[in-house]
Structure 1
């Protein structure tokens, strides 16, 4: 499954300390602040933002969002380790960033790498760009802010790319979120005046519309509030807020955030277009099922919206292999094409996943770690 080159720790990343009873290492931030990139006029900023947006959109089109590859790798490495408990292995395990198999963490590093090339045109960009941590689903903003995030609570489950900016003396930050398929530059100005982004529609499908808004936290400007509004036909509007700590670079994106992702109970492999629309892929919930009846959803774009088919993993596991129905075979072929994979490669992924999902001991242990991490974050 893996012909990709392996990246080890990108420069400047740290290992977080483990403390007894906590299911993740503690997050670490830099002691320094990244310098702001200064421009004299809004027009200069617009030119910069346009170039950054182009690179971001290119990344979305070229790189899949993938939380299947690291899941399969964890299983394979655990099986090969001889370790008897996943919890012990998980603590010793070193997550890797694999080129072409990116979660939000890998996408963030890849975008940083690409944007540094713009430093020739926009001096100071390479020096100013950094990754920032994000805590999702915050219940009490006032209780969370007021100083750096508490290291021993929360899971720092997401990262974004950040650049502090100053436009003719006006302060703000530029944010990029390739992990959530955001195909635009998010500009957050302290005064909320142009070029402040404000509310925008991130995705709109017949079943669901998602809108995002980012603003500096009024109680503590070291944080950006990220508000999400979700509207479904015939349902109440759902809102939630996340907090992005923009004051200092986040140094444990791999050791904490990528590690956290390994045991998350929802996995996806997705292709996006330059506008951030999710076009094809697979997704599934990791569940313990002694009857081995877990399913995944596979989908792809058609001329008439998305075609989705739910299939059991068992069709791809064990032997003899179950023959696929015509519709299933067609969907897999088209999904693979839109993912930029061969049909054999995608079937190989599904076969490997079928093996993992049928290993009840592994799945039970993984879900137990995930539940402990969720408990850690419930206090926010």
Structure 2
């Protein structure tokens, strides 16, 4: 948790920072909570009718966010902050959907994809907030709904969500600007074997964006990485505000892990088992 690379670590750190405001806003620190989120829920009605999350068979709870319950002129609501998904605003979700309810907003707008988010209390169970995502890619619009449980604090984020994400079969290490846009980083699927395993290096130099794929096998020995590639990695490293050589060291360590076929197979089997249980 120390480096705060996951949604759990980021949410815990955000709550810690917010609690400093308790000196000026008494009681704020005690009211802050971390809330659990079930992503991509297929049957929201069946899920919320279970009343409590622990009654839902196969719940993964793979995401968390920070928040606090509020009341505006007698009207109930909740403020949510999602640093894990790099949402660049604090979301106001009112039970009646009236001002200052956030409503639909654009999370990202790229040439190939526009993502829009919307948060609202579930009409059948106000213990849940529905997080709707609308992804528009040309004529194709893909929608999904996730459920955030705000009735009670989530106390097992490290024990459940963090552990679940350790074996997730897609890894990323990204740097973003204040609006949540990716500026630099790497990402890769876990599953390809040996020489086929590769990662994507992403770099935004301010005028153009660059994506380059590299084989992990080229990074098994740090002293054998070509200078031109090392320079490109270091450019990304600077944009991520890392100390010199940090990103290259991370990639080399990941390369050695990716060559351990037995470990990778176990990781994928655990991830598949969790996915199967959650169906």
What is the TM-score normalised by the length of structure 2? Answer: 0.95
Richer in strand (by share): 2
Instruction: Give, in whole Å, the separation in 2 of the partners of 1:212 and 1:120.
Output: 33
Secondary structure of the corresponding residue to residue 266 of structure 2: helix
From 345, 352, 355, the equivalent of 2:256 is 355
Distance in 2 separating the partners of 1:297 and 1:367 = 20
> Do the aligned partners of residues 189 and 101 (structure 1) sit closer, same or farther apart at CA in structure 2, a change above 3 Å counting?
closer
Query: 1:177 maps to which residue?
Result: 82
Whether 1:284 and 2:188 are equivalent positions in the alignment is: yes
The 5 A counterparts of 1:132-171 are 132-146=35-49, 147-149=51-53, 150=55, 152-171=57-76
Measure the CA separation in 2 of the matches of 1:352 and 1:101.
Answer: 19
CA drift of 1:119 comes to 1.4
Deviations 1:8-55 (CA, angstroms, capped at 9, x unpaired): xxxxxxxxxxxxxxxxxxxxxxxxxxxxxxxxxxxxxxxxxxxxxxxx
Aligned to 1:331: 232
Shift of 1:152: 4.0
SS at match of 1:127: helix
**Is 1:229 aligned to residue 130 of structure 2?**
no
Q: Do structure 1's residue 196 and structure 2's residue 109 form an aligned pair?
A: no
Quick one: distance in 2 between partners of 1:231 and 1:314?
A: 36
Kept in 1, the 8 Å contact 2:230–2:248? The answer is: no
Contact 1:131 1:162 in 2 (8 A): yes
User: 224, 234, 247: which one pairs with 1:346?
Assistant: 247
Among 92, 100, 112, the residue aligned to 1:187 = 92
Query: How much does 1:121 deviate?
Result: 2.1
**1:109 and 2:12 are equivalent in the alignment:** yes
How far apart, CA to CA, are the structure 2 residues paired with 1:350 and 1:360?
17
State whether residues 288 and 364 of structure 1, in contact with CA within 8 Å, keep that contact through their aligned partners in structure 2: no
Unaligned runs of 5+ in 2: none
Displacement of 1:305: 3.2
Q: Which has the higher contact order (CA 8 A, sep 6+)?
A: 1
Q: Which ranges in structure 1 are unaligned for 5 or more consecutive residues?
A: 1-96
Residue number among 240, 261, 268 corresponding to 2:144 in the alignment: 240
SS in 2 for 1:292: helix
Equivalent residue pairs, number: 277
Indicate if the aligned counterparts of 1:288 and 1:360 stay in contact, CA closer than 8 A. no
Q: CA deviation at 1:376?
A: 1.6
Q: Distance in 1 between matches of 2:222 and 2:77?
A: 58
Q: 1:329 to 1:322 in 2, by over 3 A?
A: closer
Aligned residues of 1:161 and 1:177 also touching (Cα < 8 A): yes
Offset, 1:292: 2.6
User: What's the counterpart of residue 160 of structure 2?
Assistant: 256
2:269 is the alignment partner of 1:368: yes
Return the alpha-carbon distance in structure 2 between the equivalents of residues 212 and 243 of structure 1: 13
Residue 185 of structure 1 and its aligned partner are, at CA, apart by: 0.7
Q: How does 1:53-68 map to 2 (within 5 A)?
A: none
- Tell me the secondary structure at the aligned position of residue 224 of structure 2: coil
Please, which moves more after superposition, 199-208 or 342-351? 342-351
User: Structure 1 residues 319, 142: CA separation in 2 closer, same or farther (over 3 Å shift)?
Assistant: closer
1:298 equivalent to 2:178? Answer: no
Tell me the TM-score normalized by structure 1: 0.71
- Within the candidate set 197, 213, 216, 1:313 is matched to 216
CA distance in structure 2 between the partners assigned to 1:161 and 1:295 by the alignment: 34
